[in-house]
Amino acid sequence: MTILSEEIAKLPSLRTTVEAHGLMAKKALGQNFLLDQNITDKIISLSLQKQNKKNFSEDFCFEIGPGPGGLTRSILSAEPQRLTVVEMDERCISIMEELKERVKNRLEIINEDALKTDFTAFKENPKHIISNLPYNISVPLLIKWLYEIKSYQSLTLMFQKEVADRICAPIGCKDYGRISILAQLQCQIDRLVDLNPNCFVPAPKIWSSVLLFRPLPQTLTSEQIKKIEHLSTLAFGQRRKMIRQSLKSIPELESKCQQIGILPTYRPEEITPQQFLALADLL
């Protein structure tokens, strides 16, 4: 057991901590707390295994919405150089402060909205983001990080399972869409584990999934991502229609389609992420 693990082991249980602070999850903040330390430890273990790492001893980690600190404790037990938590709920800040008393400068606390946090401004590397994401901002946060993906070594993120299914969806299925294309063009994506609603307090009505994102060797520029966002929004906004109709605002569409080997009669779910990129590069 590491020194950090020993300090964390001295803490009261998560349920005791939640009760002591009267911490009830707020629906408005998309909160569902994960209080089973075995599960949070498993998430970190699976992420490390997939990355062929024993721990985070050479890395800097960031967590969004730590809540009562279950995942926070598991990340710290993996010995990061430093863990920075970003939390906007003042009730959870006091819990983080208690944890900081145990681990000292290995934990940094930022009290703000993660959507407004510029993680690339932190100069320390390599960076890993690990989070049980608040459901209501999970996709906007992911898109923000996909634009910056070269700044991170990995993202280990929990989503509603239906969102994870959309992110991982192959072409030709009903879940395939804009977020599938953006994520798959930027990252290698691995599904680490699916979690039953009963793992959470309060229990949501849906399952959750943890995904690991690692940047591909060749990633897109911001300009390319913007073009793909524009194209895919047009196409999947009318997903039942052929692209000659949904993308008719694009000049010389049929000529561009011919250059990249797709037919104007295709529907958007028949077009691969790489073909969307090729079409975007012709705009």
Domains of the chain, each with CATH number or no CATH = 3-215 (3.40.50.150), 222-281 (1.10.8.100)
Helix (H) or strand (E) holding 70: helix 70-77
**Considering only CA atoms, which of 28, 49, 27 is closest in space to residue 192?**
49
Residue 209, pLDDT score:
97
Please name every residue paired with 110 in a beta bridge, in sequence order, or none if there are none. Answer: 86
Q: What is the pLDDT of residues 12-22, one digit of tens each?
A: 787 888 777 77
- pLDDT one-digit tens code per residue, 216-258: 999 999 999 999 999 999 999 998 999 999 999 999 999 999 9
| Cis bond upstream, residue 217 (ω within 30) | no
pLDDT of amino acid 162: 96
Amino acid identity at 224: Q
> Out of 6-10, 139-143, 194-198, 245-249, which region has the weakest mean confidence (pLDDT)?
6-10
- Which 3-state string (H, E, C) describes 166-225? HHHCCCCCCCCCHHHHHHHHHEEEEEEEEECHHHEECCCCCCEEEEEEEECCCCCCHHHH
CB 64 within 8 A of CB 42: no
Neighbours of 265 (CB within 10 A): 11
pLDDT, one tens digit per residue, over 29-59 is 556 778 889 999 999 999 999 999 999 999 9
pLDDT tens profile 124-174: 899 999 999 888 899 999 999 999 999 999 999 999 999 999 999 999 999
CA distance 133 to 188: 19
Q: What pLDDT is stored for residue 253 in this prediction?
A: 93
Identify the residue whose tokens are 């049980």: 132
Q: Are strands 208-215 and 187-195 parallel, antiparallel or unpaired?
A: antiparallel
Average pLDDT in the chain:
92
- pLDDT for 5 beyond 80: no
Cα–chain-centroid distance for residue 191? 12
Whether the predicted model's global pTM rises above the 0.75 cut: yes
For the four alpha carbons of 15, 17, 21 and 27, in that order, the dihedral sign comes to negative
